[in-house]
Structure 1
Amino acid sequence: MQRITIKTGGLVFALLGAVSMPMSLIAAGVDFPTTCSTNADAEVDDGLTLLHNMMYIEAEAAFGRAAEADPDCAMAQWGIAMANFHPLWPGTPSDDEKARGTAAAERLANMTPGSDLEQAFANAVAAFYASDHADYRARLAAWAKAQQAAQEKIPENIDAAALSALARLATAPSGPDRIEENARVGDVLDVLHKTAPDHPGVIHYAIHAYDNPPLKDRGLPYAEIYDTAAPAAAHALHMPAHIFTRTGDWLKSIDLNRRSAEAALGTSQDVVQTHYVHAIDYMVYGHLQMGDIAKAERLVDEMLAIDNHQVSFGGAYALAASPVRLLLEQGQWAEAAALSPAMHATIPWENFPQAAAMLWFAKGLGAARTNDIATARAAASELTRLHDSMQKQGQDYWARLTEGQLLTVEGWMELAEGNNEVALAQQKKAADLEDEIGKSPVTPGHVLPARELLGDMLSELGRTEEADEAYRATLAHSPNRARSLAALNR
């Protein structure tokens, strides 16, 4: 048994390799009707509860126990297959996850589900793992279509309805159309919540539906209760912070993410789960907005000191973003320009160009703002290379975000060379682009908002009224951001 000792936030956690999720602490579970044995049925309920909470590692383990209790339990194999792709999470399944999920789907294909409900769910997961899909997005779309068909076939089942809502969120269009679709999905979830007020999937997916500036207030009732529905699930503890970050309630966000990080460490085994670094990134952001620089720095140092992080896009993003947040939020431009290209050794960064881009954006911006044009140009060149890699991998959102980062770096280079109007045009394009595509749920906020940087640029040019307009626009998207508030109170 491996023992891992980690100090975080001033507390020490001893992790034992055999630790498992204490199911008794999950206050709200599901009761999914299966044709499995009694023991297997109970494990399927636990697994589906964890699946709704997006605790995928623990969910797979529960479904595995169901399969051991009843080798003929089709829903056990369905659950293992479902636990190995993550519909709303950015990035794609790892090779190991693909292998485990595919194996479970193949076992399921050779079984006979015992009810129409089980068959409908089996059809949905089979659609994802079918062999004729071009890419992950195509698989996700096929699953979403089949999962919604399952809900239409069995409309009285709350889990079918919840997963249908998840499917719609996972395949919602980008841009303004996404807000409209999320609102429609939210309408459905609001009705479901009245019927099943403690259902973890309904609560969780509603927070995701409302995790955007126009709809954030509709998410508040769910944010206030989700942690009590699953007090031991790291992701459930973290999720309300998505809404509280949108409303600028830093104290609530920090407290929830502290609890989430502790829970993630408590259930980690061979590797420290991504839930930990995801919570830390949100905590760092919150502490920076409150001016608690020392706390933010300590959290980043503790996170970077761990050498066995789970490899995932969420983990890569947090490990890349948090260190540069410390510098950019404080305007430490020279330090940003001097950042080492060497990043955390846990992560194969070539697999995550959208995360690695955070470092090169920070270097480029820092260099441009300290008139180090050579370093800024080199960083812009690296951003271009990463952008091309994202495009080849079909990462359209992140490629567009990187386009905005490039525009920002180029804009500040133009400013350093005295081309003021060109600089402003570039920075405005970056701000418009960033506002259009919004922020990903993987991040509490862009490492430095382009609209806020437009305010900085206008301020440097003495155009105070226009600068204040940019800062106010930033606050409309990201309430209580410290830099914009300070700029307006100068």
Structure 2
Amino acid sequence: MSPLTRIASLLLCGVAGSALAQTTDPADLGEVSFETSCSEAGAAFERGLLLLHHMMYRQSATAFHEAAAADPDCAMAEWGIAMTKFHPLWPGGPTPEETVAGRAAADRLAGMDAGSDREAAYIGAVLAFYEGEDTPYRERLANWAAKQRAIADAHPDDPDAQAFASLAQLTAAPRGAEAVPDLIEAGERMDALREDAPGHPGAYHYAIHAYDHPALADRGLEVARAYLTIAPDVPHALHMPSHIFTRLGLWEESIDLNKRSAQAVLRQSGGDVIVDHYPHAIDYAVYAHLQLGQVEAAREILAAMEAYVNLEDIFGTAYAAAAAPSRIPLEEGDWATAARLPSVLHPAVTWERYPQAVAIRWFAKGLGAARSGDVAAAEDALGELAKIGKVLEERNAGYWLALLDAQRKGIEAWIAFDAGDREAATALMREAADIEDRVGKAPVTPGHVLPARELLGDLLAEIGDTGAAVEAYEAVLRMSPNRRRSLEGLGRLAGQ
């Protein structure tokens, strides 16, 4: 066990009883002003709402439960509980346990007196998400988003209505370049909200999500740094600026904040579970360390994360637990090690729930095998990805199915290259790159585990098409400034 692993283990053991340390005081969370008809739930409701805007869903639910216990007739407390059981911008959807808890809250809420027309509108929006047990998740989100945005239109002076309207718009926005108009509108709404409510967490948080796009990242730098001033010890608030730092290639700042975020999670963990903000921050930090060539540092923080057996069983954990270990050999071009990555993943996660995360591991193994000459192993990986593809089709996971298509084409391209078919290899790799560029990255990741367009640059360089390889690497750097592998690829080509 490395020193960092030991330190992290001791840190968690030493704070098992300090759950939610530093986040129970609303003064450390920002400011909201949300009038309700509840007589006794005020402080707990306010804390829950603040944490909800920070996307600290588990902690927010605890506060809303406290509000419901203090005032059993408070419909908005049940609204808050129901809101914490789905997470609009997070990929993967709610867990089965969250779905059950959310439906229970919605059932209670449906029979309660809303208290006012405004509160009834908020309640109607969350109930729209839970209507129809067989309604697909994306359709549920769209139903909630439409009603949530309507609240902002009806209540233009309600800061929370404006904040949730931007969250709803981001939720319903398309992927890739087509998202830009929606992202600008959602971000500018939050820029305006900061003028009127400078302490409102949503005005910072949702603006960062809006500007987490290659075309808009410059707009997010000021607000990213400002977010830290209103929530100095909230794990997700500490992490969120790194979305912008990653887009701009500010690796040292990303490492610093993600380490602070991870440490805050460990300090505030109650010992039963380590929430997914911890592995999420570690994945971002691993990525940033690798861009600086700090491979051992990346390995140490990854080992610390993997030592914990009580990580939260949720998609954010699954993604990080699959992606972070795969990034290291892929970023280093250690193809043989990538091919030997274990097919068994972290035991804390129920992996059949998250096939899109499992696909990352098989992509890494398949690409590593293909690029190290083990065609049989690469074909085996393609077979596993084909099985995962069938599951994703059954679940209507269109975004992840598109990425899976790009992953398969990437492996197939290098198999074709190994067989001497340069034309097929180039065509497949271009198709993979075009797919990734079109769909963009999900908020859960600092970037694709190994960008297909960068792999296209590698392939073109191997073929000897220097001009096209330079174009590919430069295209990657326009999307991801200061990416080490693309910079090094350009350096190698310049030295020829």
Residues 316 and 349 of structure 1 are in contact (CA less than 8 Å); yes or no, is this contact kept in structure 2?
yes
Partner residue, 1:411: 413
Distance apart, 1:63 and its partner CA: 0.6
Q: Distance in 1 between matches of 2:282 and 2:484?
A: 19
Distance apart, 1:21 and its partner CA: 4.4
Matched residue type, 1:294: E
Structure 1: any 5+ residue segments left out of the alignment? none
Partner residue, 1:258: 259
Deviations 1:144-182 (A, max 9, x none): 111112222222110011111111111112343212211
Residues 32 and 44 of structure 1 are in contact (CA less than 8 Å); yes or no, is this contact kept in structure 2?
no
Q: Distance in 2 between matches of 1:457 and 1:8?
A: 42
Q: Distance in 2 between matches of 1:262 and 1:56?
A: 18
Distance apart, 1:258 and its partner CA: 0.7
**Secondary structure in 2 matching 1:213:** coil
Distance apart, 1:349 and its partner CA: 1.3
CA spacing shift, 1:477–1:206, aligned 2, 3 Å: same
Q: Distance in 2 between matches of 1:136 and 1:282?
A: 27
Partner residue, 2:160: 159
Distance apart, 1:8 and its partner CA: 5.5
Residues 333 and 366 of structure 1 are in contact (CA less than 8 Å); yes or no, is this contact kept in structure 2?
yes
CA spacing shift, 1:357–1:8, aligned 2, 3 Å: farther
Q: Distance in 1 between matches of 2:372 and 2:266?
A: 40
1:453 pairs, out of 455, 462, 467, with 455
Partner residue, 1:287: 289
Partner residue, 2:11: 12
Partner residue, 1:226: 227
2:433 pairs, out of 420, 431, 434, with 431
Bigger drift between 22-31 and 292-301 goes to: 22-31
Q: Distance in 2 between matches of 1:137 and 1:363?
A: 31
Residues 28 and 200 of structure 1 are in contact (CA less than 8 Å); yes or no, is this contact kept in structure 2?
yes
Q: Distance in 2 between matches of 1:300 and 1:225?
A: 29
Partner residue, 2:48: 47
Distance apart, 1:119 and its partner CA: 1.3
Provide the aligned C-alpha RMSD in A. Answer: 1.6
Bigger drift between 149-158 and 435-444 goes to: 149-158
Matched residue type, 1:12: L
Deviations 1:23-69 (A, max 9, x none): 336251212111212x4111111110000000001101111111111
Q: Distance in 2 between matches of 1:168 and 1:436?
A: 20
Q: Distance in 1 between matches of 2:111 and 2:69?
A: 17
Q: Distance in 2 between matches of 1:392 and 1:488?
A: 41
Structure with greater contact order relative to length (CA < 8 Å, sep ≥ 6): 2
Q: Distance in 1 between matches of 2:216 and 2:283?
A: 23
Distance apart, 1:317 and its partner CA: 0.5
Deviations 1:404-456 (A, max 9, x none): 01001000000000001110111111111111111111111111111111111
Matched residue type, 2:414: W
Matches of residues 357-372 of structure 1 in structure 2 within 5 Å? 357-372=359-374
Q: Distance in 1 between matches of 2:6 and 2:441?
A: 30
**Secondary structure in 1 matching 2:127:** helix
Bigger drift between 177-186 and 443-452 goes to: 177-186
Bigger drift between 477-486 and 383-392 goes to: 383-392
CA spacing shift, 1:27–1:54, aligned 2, 3 Å: closer
Q: Distance in 1 between matches of 2:21 and 2:114?
A: 28
Partner residue, 2:304: 302
**Correspondence 1:395 to 2:397:** yes
TM-score in terms of structure 2 length: 0.95
**Correspondence 1:176 to 2:167:** no
Deviations 1:301-360 (A, max 9, x none): 111111111001110010000111110000100111122211111112111110011111
Q: Distance in 2 between matches of 1:459 and 1:114?
A: 66
Identity of aligned residues (%): 50
Distance apart, 1:265 and its partner CA: 1.2
Distance apart, 1:128 and its partner CA: 1.0
Matches of residues 322-333 of structure 1 in structure 2 within 5 Å? 322-333=324-335
Q: Distance in 2 between matches of 1:180 and 1:214?
A: 11
CA spacing shift, 1:18–1:9, aligned 2, 3 Å: closer
Bigger drift between 191-200 and 421-430 goes to: 191-200
Residues 311 and 317 of structure 2 are in contact (CA less than 8 Å); yes or no, is this contact kept in structure 1?
yes
Partner residue, 1:56: 57
Bigger drift between 221-230 and 79-88 goes to: 221-230
Structure 2: any 5+ residue segments left out of the alignment? none
CA spacing shift, 1:20–1:175, aligned 2, 3 Å: closer
Deviations 1:49-104 (A, max 9, x none): 00000000110111111111111111111101111110111011111111111111
